[in-house]
A and B are shown apart, each in its own frame.
Chain A
Amino acid sequence: MGILDSKIPSGPLADKWTKHKNEIDLVNPANKRNIDIIIVGTGLAGGSAAASLAELGYNVKTFCYQDSPRRAHSIAAQGGINASKNYQGDGDSDYRLFYDTVKGGDYRSREANVYRLAEVSGNIIDQCVSQGVPFARDYGGLLDNRSFGGVLVSRTFYAKGQTGQQLLLGAYAAMNRQIHRGKIKSYTRHEMLDLVIVDGKARGIIARNLITGEIERHSAHAVVIASGGYGNLFFLSTYCMGANVMAAWRTHRRGAFFANPCYTQIHPTCIPVSGEHQSKLTLMSESLRNDGRIWVPKKLDDAKAIREGKLKPTQLKEEDRDYYLERRYPAFGNLVPRDVASRAAKERCDAGYGVNKTGEAVFLDFDAAIMRYGKEKALTSGLKDADNAHIRKLGEEVVEAKYGNLFQMYEKIVDENPYKTPMMIYPAVHYTMGGLWVDYNLQTTIPGCYAAGEANFSDHGANRLGASALMQGLADGYFVLPYTIGDFLADDIRTGPIPTDSEEFDKAEKDVLDKINRLMSAKGIHSVDYYHKKLGKIMWNKCGMSRNAKGLKEAIEDIAALRKDFWENVKVPGAADDKNQELEKAGRVADFLEIGELFAMDALERNESCGGHFREEYQTPEGEALRDDKNFKFVSAWEYKGEPKDAKLHKENLIYENIELKTRSYK
């Protein structure tokens, strides 16, 4: 195993978690009162971990850059959360959820972690319902489910198109209960700038108070990084504007290995880019693919006419449309996994069939669904002779009840009515499967430093299935960390409070201040956004939906050059000891300029295509991803060695004992 010990328990797959819980060390309730835990990030993973750990008796400090824990970007997750409840009686089980998730991840995740995720998934739903999370229900008063990409059962629980919001508000409420009891101290508008290691253990952080600019020292017996993903290095993404990799990256710089940085999820159904000044992209929930059909014109001439505004999509006859997902993947149709759907859209647009001005959009059409639902509604309402207009009206009402807020969001942004004309969509960066390397206990390679949620790497392999991120964030926070962190903390019951006046804190604080001073005193030619946009273009063009060795090598050089330019010439106005949003951005972009290079190196190293990582050199004659299990069935875990180019690669071999590795097929 070398230095990467995943600590996967022995024994049969289904018994591993129970066995592990029985065997790891616990901290008795009286001693928990003497132990402090820092949690960075208050989304689903951080918020749920904070609430659970505080409830168990630990003293918790949470940190978030937003003005409230409730604003973390988990709030924007739309579609739903998976759980193997089998309420629909359609054959679901823990094993099937486990299997779908491993297959969906293109066989690049850890079996034991994923099985545990499936095992606790049902408990998450129970927990959230008892907290008052208002999931969608049917008329009998029981919970409703819908279907998501890459699976053949209905296991997704949802709250309209605002599932992430409702789940996060549940975790936030649980946090508030503990804040009220004094068990959580919530630091808002604070940003972690460094991890402090004392005697080889994570013992605190350096944070900046974003209102006063003050640099603060906070100590604890363990630190949990739950700061989300790094997709914002692409500049344009569905992430919130403030999402950043700072906490995770600076932890990496202090010794935590970074795993699979090149695994990025590009979500197929986002609103296309409209212009140069665009600051972010908006996702349209995958749940729309339950009812929407994706197509482009069959003929190049028609596509051209549509692009030029001479032809309306609704004028195109059925036989002139290419429902390319239904054509290529008859078994899963429009509900293929995200990586497959995104690549297929790019393939059609690259071939000249794109439908918006820039040729980078495909249609998502609800017409068939509106008519189908309308007919059903007419029948159940006893309307035997309803005409088409009436049926359409009824159908639009059904679709509105299901996806109303998404349709409204689309109309506000694009200024077109999606009930009357098909939506235009295009893939956009949405999630990063890579993250801090963690073992089965969610501990990074730094003792006492844990990573949860999107910030770690473990459960989604090379591609995440829809409605799995919420499941993983809450599983880590509510049900995994509260157990596993005790195993480390059991040795700290007599340690006492960690002092913040040590040499280690002095040094970390000095490093942070030096960095801030360098940013403030650069020559001041270009703004932070100038660099961020440039980095984004390099990433999207050379490390995006498809990659090749030549482009990746160029990206590595381009990013290194851009980083050098940034440190010499960036312009940060204002003062460091003040509220300063430009300085906040500068620190974040500085880290993106490092991880971007490691990302490209990782993508170059992985000479295969798997999940969201598509290397043009490795594909089947039909253009499907070609995995190389013989040589690449491992997790890449990078060790920081100074400049990104000096990073050292470690490999954790993935062992499949319960699933046979196959070519992923959705045909």
Chain B
Amino acid sequence: MKIYLKIWRQKDASSKGKIVDYTMDGIEGDMSFLEMLDILNEDLISKGEVPIEFDHDCREGICGTCSLQINGRPHGPDRLITACQLHMRSFKDGDTIVIEPFRAKAFPVIKDLIVDRNAFERIQQAGGFISVNTSGRTVDANSIPIRKDNADKAFNAAACIGCGACVAACKNASAMLFTSAKVSQFALLPQGRIEATERVQNMVRQMDLEGFGNCTNTGACEIECPKGISLDNIARMNREYLGASIKG
């Protein structure tokens, strides 16, 4: 099939970017979206042009590296997948596809379709851990029984891949879903309760410092999340935060 592409090109963080048009022919439905971009890049290289830079790595939807806004939606039209899992069969002959980087003040563009997500790193560093020493001896794993439903909920929250689709989907560029996923995972586990108060306060403080917006309660983040992280996590984080504030 024939595809018309409109792709964001930007030389570096300080340059101005623009949309550039490309046309591709002979695209097959079984190709992945990123393989389609590989072909485009091969073509640009053969013409002596600079290829389009985009972040990608595992190409199986788990590393969270790819970060493309496709036709206005993070990771494109399909639900519960990342851009690297999207296949060209989701498009039809003659379609125009607009590809941009994830847009947020806290995610500055590095080059073309690549953004800087270090703000997420700093939120995790502020409290996304349990303070136990990894080199020491601890208690036997089965001496901490955990209700299965809580363990499952903690797992579901922990499945976040840190891609940033939630931020890119949100009109306020809020990082509440991302931050709440980690807060929830630990809040649901007895091991994490010990530092729960400090954790939620520190992570939320860092989230605000990074310039992410407030939650709009729209739920776009949940819809676009490739791992289906639930809005319940935001509610849980708000409850944790309120509790922590009352405790002081």
Stretch of A139-147, A148-156, A491-499, A650-658 with 4 or more beta carbons under 8 angstroms from chain B: A139-147
Q: Quick one: closest B residue to A47, CB to CB?
A: B134
> How far is the CB of B126 from the nearest CB of chain A, in Å?
7
B139, A409: Cβ atoms under 8 Å? no
Any chain A CB within 8 A of the CB of B5?
no
Given contacts A131-B191, A241-B56, contact A173 B128 (CB under 8 A): yes
Any chain B CB within 8 A of the CB of A162?
yes
> How far is the CB of B181 from the nearest CB of chain A, in Å?
11
CA distance A56 to B133 in the complex (A): 9
Interface size band for B: 35 or more
- Residues 449-475 of A, flagged 1 when their CB comes within 8 A of B and 0 if not, give 000000000000000000000000000
> How far is the CB of A190 from the nearest CB of chain B, in Å?
13
CA distance A177 to B29 in the complex (A): 44
> How far is the CB of A527 from the nearest CB of chain B, in Å?
5
CA distance A479 to B186 in the complex (A): 24
CA distance A136 to B158 in the complex (A): 13
- Residues 282-293 of A, flagged 1 when their CB comes within 8 A of B and 0 if not, give 110000000000
For B60, what are the chain A residues with a Cβ–Cβ distance below 8 Å? 76, 280, 282-283, 409
Q: Which of B57, B81, B87, B130 contacts A131 (CB 8 A)?
A: B130
> How far is the CB of A90 from the nearest CB of chain B, in Å?
15
For B145, what are the chain A residues with a Cβ–Cβ distance below 8 Å? 137, 140-142
For B162, what are the chain A residues with a Cβ–Cβ distance below 8 Å? 68, 70
Q: Which of A52, A180, A240 contacts B59 (CB 8 A)?
A: A240
Q: Which of B35, B57, B64, B142 contacts A242 (CB 8 A)?
A: B57
A75, B81: Cβ atoms under 8 Å? no
Given contacts A55-B133, A165-B62, A275-B28, contact A240 B142 (CB under 8 A): no
Any chain A CB within 8 A of the CB of B51?
yes
For A141, what are the chain B residues with a Cβ–Cβ distance below 8 Å? 145-148, 151
Any chain B CB within 8 A of the CB of A630?
no
Any chain B CB within 8 A of the CB of A348?
no
For A529, what are the chain B residues with a Cβ–Cβ distance below 8 Å? 38, 42
For A143, what are the chain B residues with a Cβ–Cβ distance below 8 Å? 141-142
B158, A169: Cβ atoms under 8 Å? yes
Given contacts A134-B151, A278-B35, A573-B50, contact A241 B125 (CB under 8 A): no
For B128, what are the chain A residues with a Cβ–Cβ distance below 8 Å? 173, 176
Stretch of B94-102, B109-117, B171-179, B229-237 with 4 or more beta carbons under 8 angstroms from chain A: B109-117
B39, A574: Cβ atoms under 8 Å? no
Stretch of A122-130, A316-324, A387-395, A537-545 with 4 or more beta carbons under 8 angstroms from chain B: A122-130
> How far is the CB of A459 from the nearest CB of chain B, in Å?
20
Enumerate B154-203 residues with CB–CB distance to A below 8 Å. Answer: 154-155, 158-159, 161-162, 185-186, 189, 191-192
> How far is the CB of B163 from the nearest CB of chain A, in Å?
10
For A274, what are the chain B residues with a Cβ–Cβ distance below 8 Å? 30
For B44, what are the chain A residues with a Cβ–Cβ distance below 8 Å? 573
Given contacts A159-B155, A573-B48, A573-B51, contact A123 B137 (CB under 8 A): yes
Q: Quick one: closest A residue to B135, CB to CB?
A: A52
CA distance A280 to B56 in the complex (A): 12
For B31, what are the chain A residues with a Cβ–Cβ distance below 8 Å? 275, 277
CA distance A529 to B128 in the complex (A): 39
B138, A76: Cβ atoms under 8 Å? no
Given contacts A274-B30, A482-B135, contact A134 B158 (CB under 8 A): yes
> How far is the CB of A603 from the nearest CB of chain B, in Å?
28
A415, B38: Cβ atoms under 8 Å? no
For A186, what are the chain B residues with a Cβ–Cβ distance below 8 Å? 121
B126, A180: Cβ atoms under 8 Å? yes
Enumerate B80-111 residues with CB–CB distance to A below 8 Å. Answer: 80-81, 85, 87, 89, 110-111
CA distance A482 to B133 in the complex (A): 12
For A135, what are the chain B residues with a Cβ–Cβ distance below 8 Å? 141, 151
> How far is the CB of A486 from the nearest CB of chain B, in Å?
11
CA distance A469 to B140 in the complex (A): 22
For B51, what are the chain A residues with a Cβ–Cβ distance below 8 Å? 573-574, 581-582
- Residues 67-106 of A, flagged 1 when their CB comes within 8 A of B and 0 if not, give 1101101011000000001010000000000000000000
For A132, what are the chain B residues with a Cβ–Cβ distance below 8 Å? 130, 154, 185-186, 189, 191-192
B38, A134: Cβ atoms under 8 Å? no
CA distance A124 to B50 in the complex (A): 46
A67, B65: Cβ atoms under 8 Å? yes
> How far is the CB of A379 from the nearest CB of chain B, in Å?
21
Any chain A CB within 8 A of the CB of B242?
no
For B152, what are the chain A residues with a Cβ–Cβ distance below 8 Å? 134
> How far is the CB of A515 from the nearest CB of chain B, in Å?
20
CA distance A291 to B163 in the complex (A): 32
For B192, what are the chain A residues with a Cβ–Cβ distance below 8 Å? 132
CA distance A400 to B137 in the complex (A): 36
CA distance A129 to B145 in the complex (A): 10
Q: Quick one: closest B residue to A160, CB to CB?
A: B155
Q: Quick one: closest B residue to A579, CB to CB?
A: B111
Any chain A CB within 8 A of the CB of B212?
no
A571, B45: Cβ atoms under 8 Å? yes
For B64, what are the chain A residues with a Cβ–Cβ distance below 8 Å? 68, 70-71
Any chain B CB within 8 A of the CB of A211?
yes
CA distance A282 to B59 in the complex (A): 8
CA distance A172 to B162 in the complex (A): 12
CA distance A352 to B234 in the complex (A): 55
Q: Quick one: closest A residue to B147, CB to CB?
A: A141
For B185, what are the chain A residues with a Cβ–Cβ distance below 8 Å? 132, 134
A165, B159: Cβ atoms under 8 Å? yes
For B62, what are the chain A residues with a Cβ–Cβ distance below 8 Å? 75-76, 162, 165
Q: Quick one: closest B residue to A242, CB to CB?
A: B57
Any chain B CB within 8 A of the CB of A619?
no
Enumerate A154-183 residues with CB–CB distance to B below 8 Å. Answer: 159-160, 162, 165-166, 169, 171-174, 176-177, 179-180
Q: Which of B110, B116, B132, B141 contacts A125 (CB 8 A)?
A: B141
B134, A415: Cβ atoms under 8 Å? no
B124, A574: Cβ atoms under 8 Å? no
Any chain B CB within 8 A of the CB of A478?
yes
For B125, what are the chain A residues with a Cβ–Cβ distance below 8 Å? 176, 179-180
B42, A211: Cβ atoms under 8 Å? no
Any chain B CB within 8 A of the CB of A66?
yes
Q: Quick one: closest B residue to A477, CB to CB?
A: B134
For A242, what are the chain B residues with a Cβ–Cβ distance below 8 Å? 57
For A177, what are the chain B residues with a Cβ–Cβ distance below 8 Å? 129, 131
> How far is the CB of A94 from the nearest CB of chain B, in Å?
15
Any chain B CB within 8 A of the CB of A413?
yes
For B45, what are the chain A residues with a Cβ–Cβ distance below 8 Å? 527, 571, 573, 582
Max chain B C-beta neighbours (<10 A), residue from A85, A134, A581: A134
Any chain A CB within 8 A of the CB of B32?
yes
B148, A139: Cβ atoms under 8 Å? yes
CA distance A274 to B130 in the complex (A): 44
A76, B191: Cβ atoms under 8 Å? no
Q: A75-B63, A132-B185, A279-B59 are in contact. List 7 more A-B contacts (CB 8 A).
A: A66-B63, A131-B130, A136-B155, A137-B146, A160-B155, A174-B134, A176-B125
Q: Which residues of A contact B (CB under 8 A)?
A: 48, 51-52, 55-56, 66-68, 70-71, 73, 75-76, 85, 87, 123, 125-132, 134-143, 159-160, 162, 165-166, 169, 171-174, 176-177, 179-180, 186, 188, 211, 240-242, 274-275, 277-280, 282-283, 408-409, 412-413, 415, 478-479, 482, 527, 529, 571, 573-574, 578-579, 581-582
The 6 closest A-B pairs by CB, nearest first: A141-B145, A173-B129, A134-B155, A52-B135, A129-B141, A177-B129
Give me 5 A-to-B residue pairs in the complex whose CB atoms sit less than 8 angstroms apart, sorted by A's number.
A68-B121, A71-B63, A130-B130, A132-B185, A275-B31
